[in-house]
Chains A and B, each alone.
Chain A
Amino acid sequence: MSSEVKTKEKVNMDPKYLIKLAVTLCVTCVIVAAALGAVDNVTRGPIAEANRIATEKALSAVFPDVAAPEFPELELTDAMTSAASAAGATLENVYEVKDGGETAGYAVKIIASGSQGNIEMVVGVDAEGAVTGVSIVSNAETSGIGSKVMKNNPLPSGTGVLDQFIGKSAADGTLSVGSNVDAISGATVSSRGVTTGVNGAIAAAGAIG
């Protein structure tokens, strides 16, 4: 440790010294901020591109039957947001899925809490209100346990845990693990998280137009 550090040293209140401290810190911060600005300039494009590709991949994944879909983003309405939050999930974006100019359904990007933080997922809902697919965008679930749900591992019945939601709609009532949804053994909380997201997405899609 540096020998200059003394305890109970009287604070040097000399204004010149104080100004020197402030100026040194300020100049350093300005230099660092400028450097960060330069880096941001270089990385902004690639980051936006990477996000766009990830989102588009997740969106296409929930509408496998549409060959060349387009995804115009819809403006969120209060009805959509509150429908999702009533189901316990947070609505992020809603995209209309267009197949050659016609509306094939909606892709709902929604957040629900899992066992280790938020699970961000895209749920596809067709024009009749039935789920077409669930795809996970980001998660922090435990590797080897909750990650089995995220990776769509098969349930004992052979269906993938995410695939079991396909075809479910508001007519099935509120989905819940144990009654009309099966969980991966040991990963009940993660399975519940996804279920909450799907409920929110069905509700939000129902609130559109």
Chain B
Amino acid sequence: MNFGKQFKEGLITNNPVLVQVLGMCSTMAITTSFFNGLGMGLSVLVILTASNIVISAMRKVVPDKIRIAMFIVVIAGFVTCVDLLLKAFVPALSESLGVFIPLIVVNCIILGRAEAFSYKNGVLASAVDGICQGIGYTVVLIIMCVIRELLGAGTFGGGLLNNGDGIRLIPEQFPIGMLTFPVGGFLVLGCLIAAMQWALSKSKNKEESK
């Protein structure tokens, strides 16, 4: 187990959004303000880590044939807990993320990590994997939120700062409203993936030429 390597994988070389291209639905839908991205990212981080730990702990007693059903039961349990807790203690966030919190159940990052990692690795390694992949997801969401919110609405920190309106950085008539639509999400994500691939191949070339 190597924390540094896992962290690098989650954040860069095997980033859940930019490299594995998982969890697209939530990535498109909620990255319109900084507060949304942070809340969604942290919710997924918590659920992913918790379900990774539990699935890894019970991997020896779960019969192979019904493992997916078991994963879903565990994941759905944690998602419902987080949903109830958000509704109770952070109603504003719960309101703005809406249906996308319950939809974390079918977020393929979580099922994907259960199948690809925690079903085959120890509890501690799985917990670290959950945290690292969760951070990778959160960071990408926040980057997308900041870009889309700044260029699409002209503000920063919407939903959190300045009574929820965000701090206006670009006068109201200039922003490109389209970027706050799903199509804007695809454009921004496409550019980010391209930038990521470019950076990855560049560093790979460097290593090979050494």
Q: Which residues in B have some Cβ–Cβ distance to A below 8 Å?
A: 32-33, 58, 61-66, 69-70, 73-74, 76-77, 80-81, 84-85, 87-89, 91, 95, 98, 119-120, 152-153, 158, 175, 177, 180-181
Contact = CB atoms under 8 A, between A and B. Distances in A.
A154 B65 CA distance: 60
Q: Please classify the interface of chain B as helix (H, G, I), strand (E, B), loop, or mixed, using the class held by over half of its residues.
A: helix
Interface string A128-166: 000000000010101111000000000000000000000
Nearest to B165: A151
28 contacts: A2-B64, A2-B119, A5-B64, A17-B63, A24-B62, A24-B63, A24-B70, A25-B69, A28-B70, A28-B73, A32-B73, A32-B74, A35-B77, A35-B81, A40-B84, A43-B85, A43-B88, A43-B89, A45-B88, A46-B88, A46-B89, A47-B87, A47-B88, A50-B88, A138-B95, A143-B158, A143-B180, A144-B175
Most buried by A among B74, B81, B87, B119: B81
Given A2-B119, A25-B66, A36 B81 contact: yes
B74 A142 contact: no
A21 B66 contact: yes
Contacts of A47: 84, 87-88
Determine the main DSSP class of A at the interface with B.
helix
B150 to A, nearest CB: 12
B55 to A, nearest CB: 11
A206 B181 CA distance: 39
Nearest to A9: B65
Contacts of A4: 64
Interface of A: 2, 4-5, 17, 20-21, 24-25, 28-29, 32, 35-36, 39-40, 42-43, 45-47, 50, 54, 138, 140, 142-145
A81 B165 CA distance: 36
B81 A2 contact: no
A144 B180 contact: yes
